A = this chain, B = another copy of it.
Amino acid sequence: MARRNKLILGAFLQTPGQHTAGWRYPRANAEASLDIDAQIAFARTAERGLFHAIFIADTLPFPVNLNDETLSYSARVVDFEPITLLSALAVATNRIGLVGTVTTTYYEPYTVARQLASLDYLSKGRAGWNVVTSSNSAEAFNYGKREHPLHSLRYVRAREFVDIVKGLWDSWDDDAFLFDKASGKFFIPEKMHVLNHQSPQFNIRGPLGVARPPQGHPVIVQAGSSDAGRTAAASFADVIFTAQSDLAGAIAFYDDVRARTSAAGRDPDHIAILPGVTPVVAATRSEAEDKYAQLQDLIHPVAGVAMLSGAAGADLSKYSIDGPLPEVPPTEGDKTRQELLVAHARETGKSIRDLYRWLASGYNTVVGTPTDIADHFEHWFNSGAADGFNVRFSYLPGDLDDFVDLVVPELQRRGLYHDAYEGVTLRDNLQIPRPHSRYRRD
């Protein structure tokens, strides 16, 4: 049973494309990653498609062992930094939510609180924060660390970090400012709050140099599906992304996270669970299958093995490309992705080549007509597996254009999707309440 009567859709904009070989597809703009005009066009197309938000990922594209030759087949080595990009998109769009990924492992809470509060003002209440703990251990090398902190420790830090950021966002009551030219009084002293957070990990005084954000708190997004990730999501997230490859697993995840949310003392109807989905759509089924086959055939073996190595957490270049996935040690990076991969390899017995082809296309790829895609969405939604989807595009802009032009009208025709943005802020559009300040006096 769906808890909402309409789907929530996020547009996961990975430039130049989600698919490893997406940039090589004829209709792809291979040079879009640092082209602001292209990025604005993508965001406006997503807004035309009434997506609730765009999501900008942020994974350091460089592996622990840099191999320039291998890396040079990857199109994901340079792009805009998410917060700066979203700040620009804030004034180039009007209604769509703007969710950026920021790591709690290598950033400071005061800076993160400030930049995201600032983004919420720039966008008039459309900011969101995808909280990550950095799965790529090579990130440590850019922050003066020789060792990446362990997965479990990263989550301990993440939970405290988010709590501090939320506290800093509450530094000023919503009605703290007087702007009173006559008396010279700019704000009401009792409505300023000093956090004074002290712990072994953090000493943060406050107050924040930004007023309480339009949304109270920007929307918090969490994507880790490991046990620690789920617990963290249940404790602080408004929106949860998840990689689910089949309906049964998605339903189990959905129920589990809702139960954990209740157990954390929160209303599970105030969260939105969005599995990722990668539609490959065309007017006919055979055209869609041709498109998909063409994408898969464009994967350069060097790029494919490198990508699979990243997901496996082990260098696979020395193994036979047509042989099976070897045993790999548990990663301290993205555990969810590794577990999914190992389970799939075990289940199917696929070769390295077939595994990277499978991985390249995304976890939940649906190839077909607009009707096929809408059927899939409707089935998952009505089965209680999803409040909506985080939609991934194999290449940009073509795949996004096709979704907006072909799939959105079909979803609307079925009454599954809104016909206009109803709210002003992202929270309004997600139907997730604006949080009270922790300093509220009842």
Contact surface of A with B, Cβ cutoff 8 Å: 21, 23-24, 26, 28, 30-31, 34, 36, 40, 60-62, 66, 68-69, 71-75, 77-81, 83-85, 87-88, 90-92, 106-108, 110-111, 114-115, 117-119, 121-122, 124, 138, 141-146, 172, 177, 179, 181, 184-190, 192, 194, 202-211, 298, 300, 302-303
Q: How distant is the Cα of A40 from the Cα of B107 in the complex, in angstroms? A: 29
With A122-B85, A205-B142, A209-B79: A184-B115 Cβ-Cβ less than 8 Å: no
Residues of chain B lying within 8 A (CB to CB) of residue A202: 144
Our pick among B21, B30, B36 for the contact of A122 (Cβ within 8 Å) is B36
24 A-B pairs with C-beta separation under 8 A: A23-B179, A23-B181, A26-B181, A30-B181, A71-B189, A71-B192, A72-B188, A73-B185, A78-B209, A80-B122, A81-B115, A81-B210, A83-B87, A84-B122, A85-B122, A91-B92, A106-B108, A106-B111, A141-B205, A142-B204, A142-B206, A144-B202, A144-B203, A144-B204
Residues of chain B within 8 A of A111, CB atoms compared: 106-107
- Could you tell me the distance in whole angstroms from the C-beta of A84 to the nearest C-beta in chain B? 4
Closest residue to A39 on the B side, CB-wise?
A: B122
Q: Please name 11 further chain A to chain B contacts, defined as beta carbons within 8 Å, in addition to the given A75-B186, A84-B122, A108-B144, sorted by A numbering.
A: A34-B210, A36-B90, A60-B209, A68-B189, A72-B189, A73-B184, A73-B185, A73-B186, A78-B210, A81-B118, A81-B209
Bound CA span A21–B300, Å: 64
A203 to B172, CA, bound (A): 37
A121 touching B68 in the complex, CB below 8 Å, given contacts A142-B204, A209-B79: no
A114: B residues at CB distance < 8 A: 81
Closest Cβ of chain B to A298, distance in Å, is 7
Determine which of B21, B62, B91, B187 lies in contact with A207 in the assembled complex, contact meaning CB atoms within 8 Å: B62
Say how far A286's CB is from chain B's closest CB, in angstroms: 24
Contacts of A204 in B (CB 8 A): 141-144
**Bound Cα distance A185, B75 (Å):** 8
Across-interface contacts of A88 in B (CB, < 8 A): 87-88, 90-91, 122
A185 touches B72 (CB 8 A): yes
